[in-house]
């Protein structure tokens, strides 16, 4: 029978974006989404639909009718194709170069299996990434060797670390 408990919305994170085929007017991308289930029961879905905005501007939309089961209090990676316009992608790349910051908002619906008792749950995720500036990216260096210390000094520093 259908689940009688309230279905909490999943947390959906953008894990990766990979380019697919492209044309003059449209770009196809493969998004990898990490779907986390906060419920104490499996979330069984018959698909999902979503919209992705970058830096406040709509970028891509997509849907998948692939079945998905996210374990109770667990997570699942889902790959979905999305489309964007070539012009929209170019504008996003220009903004990224100018702002050196990337923010995104992912909204959508997880379309649930009939036995879940509700037709869908909505999800929404906003995040921001700011790349480190080139001045902050120092080359890796080897740690300097500690000068030899007496056994008492080493014991004292161990006591201070507690």
Q: Going residue by residue through the chain (162 aa), what tens digit of pLDDT does each one get? A: 556 678 999 999 999 988 888 888 888 889 999 999 999 999 999 999 999 998 888 889 999 999 999 999 999 999 999 988 877 777 777 766 676 677 899 999 999 998 888 899 999 999 987 655 544 444 444 444 444 444 444 333 333 333
The token duo for 47 is 């698909």
Residue 116, beta-bridge partner list: none
Spatial separation of the C-alpha atoms in residues 118 and 45, rounded to whole Å: 11
Task: State residue 140's pLDDT score.
Answer: 43
Q: Both tokens of residue 154? A: 């080493």
The two tokens of residue 22 are 């492209």
- Say how far apart CA 26 and CA 99 lie, in whole Å: 24
Give the per-residue pLDDT at 160.
37
Residue 99 token pair: 């702002």
Q: Which pLDDT value is given to residue 111? A: 96
Percent of the chain as helix, strand, coil, to the nearest 5: 20, 50, 35
Q: Check residue 23 and give its pLDDT.
A: 81
Q: Which residue has the tokens 């990766």?
A: 16
> Which segments within the chain are labelled E, that is strand?
11-22, 26-36, 43-54, 57-64, 68-70, 75-85, 102-112, 120-129
Q: In this structure, what token pair is assigned to residue 88? A: 């929209």
pTM of the model: 0.71
């Amino acid at each position: 029978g259908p689940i009688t408990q309230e279905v909490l919305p999943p947390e959906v994170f953008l894990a990766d974006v990979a380019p697919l085929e492209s044309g003059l007017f449209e770009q196809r991308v493969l998004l990898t989404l990490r779907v986390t289930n906060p419920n104490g029961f499996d979330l069984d879905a018959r698909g999902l639909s979503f919209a992705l905005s970058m830096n406040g501007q709509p970028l891509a939309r997509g849907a998948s009718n692939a079945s998905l089961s996210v374990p109770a209090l667990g997570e699942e990676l889902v790959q979905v194709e999305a489309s964007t316009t070539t012009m929209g992608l170019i504008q996003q790349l220009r903004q990224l170069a100018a702002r050196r910051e990337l923010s995104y908002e992912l909204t959508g619906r997880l379309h649930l299996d009939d036995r879940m008792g509700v037709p869908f749950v909505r999800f929404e995720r906003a995040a921001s990434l700011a790349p480190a500036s080139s001045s902050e990216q120092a080359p890796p260096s080897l740690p300097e060797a500690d000068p030899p210390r007496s056994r008492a000094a080493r014991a004292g520093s161990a006591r201070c670390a507690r």
